[in-house]
């Protein structure tokens, strides 16, 4: 789960002088997430973000360029954060093979069919943008990397073969998840099928 920003106790302009560019970008993204949660995506403009973060408008524009750039950055950041949280949590626990596969299938399908969270809301706001297709491919590539990281300790496949199979698994996961979203298959059935496919591939 992505952490919500804590209330700033110092003036935003003075805080800006103490943050690196990477730290400032992270602070702006956390604040943008808070805006989406509390006020909705329609309120997420660079001007409003700057006001909420306690920085000048040029700072926000310097990081994201325009509203579309902000939405894309936030969309990628939310997905990266939740993938990293899941992967790192799973790897730190070092579960048995069967448990790792089941958790991976459950988490992937669960995220793909969740239409109530901020990720879906920001994605809907990006609908029709020219950049969204490229962003989605980048997120799929991240998902493949996560599958490789999670499944690697539980199989003896060469790295290249594991990556190719992970590409196929991510594609299958997307197709199965779409069946849930269309209402033609249940989430439980799809998750069970996906777990079996993962086990069979490694």
Q: What is the pLDDT of residue 18?
A: 80
Q: Which residues contact 187 (CB under 8 A, 6 or more apart)?
A: 109, 110, 113, 180
Q: What is the pLDDT of residue 3?
A: 43
- Ordered domains of the chain (ranges, CATH): 12-65 (1.10.10), 75-201 (1.10.357)
Q: What is the pLDDT of residue 9?
A: 38
In three-state secondary structure terms, 129 is coil
Q: What is the pLDDT of residue 133?
A: 83
Q: What is the Cα–Cα distance from 115 to 61, expressed in whole angstroms?
A: 29
Q: What is the pLDDT of residue 10?
A: 35
Residue 101 and residue 196 in contact, taking contact as beta carbons nearer than 8 Å? no
Q: What is the pLDDT of residue 5?
A: 41
Consecutive H or E run containing 104? helix 97-113
């Amino acid at each position: 789960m992505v952490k919500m920003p804590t209330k700033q106790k110092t003036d935003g302009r003075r805080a800006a002088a103490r943050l690196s560019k990477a730290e400032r970008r992270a602070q702006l993204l956390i604040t943008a997430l808070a805006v989406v949660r509390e006020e909705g995506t329609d309120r997420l403009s660079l001007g409003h973000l700057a006001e909420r973060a306690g920085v000048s408008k040029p700072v926000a524009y310097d990081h994201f360029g325009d509203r579309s750039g902000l939405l894309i950055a936030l969309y990628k950041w939310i997905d990266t954060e939740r993938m990293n949280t899941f992967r790192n949590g799973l790897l730190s626990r070092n579960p048995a093979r069967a448990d790792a596969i089941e958790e991976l299938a459950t988490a992937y399908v669960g995220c793909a069919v969740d239409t109530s969270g901020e990720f879906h809301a920001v994605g809907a706001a990006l609908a029709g943008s020219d950049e969204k297709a490229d962003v989605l491919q980048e997120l799929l590539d991240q998902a493949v990397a996560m599958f490789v990281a999670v499944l690697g300790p539980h199989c003896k496949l060469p790295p290249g073969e594991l990556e190719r199979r992970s590409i196929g698994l991510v594609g299958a996961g997307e197709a199965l998840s779409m069946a849930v979203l269309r209402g033609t298959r249940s989430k439980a059935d799809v998750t069970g099928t996906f777990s079996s496919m993962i086990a069979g591939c490694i």
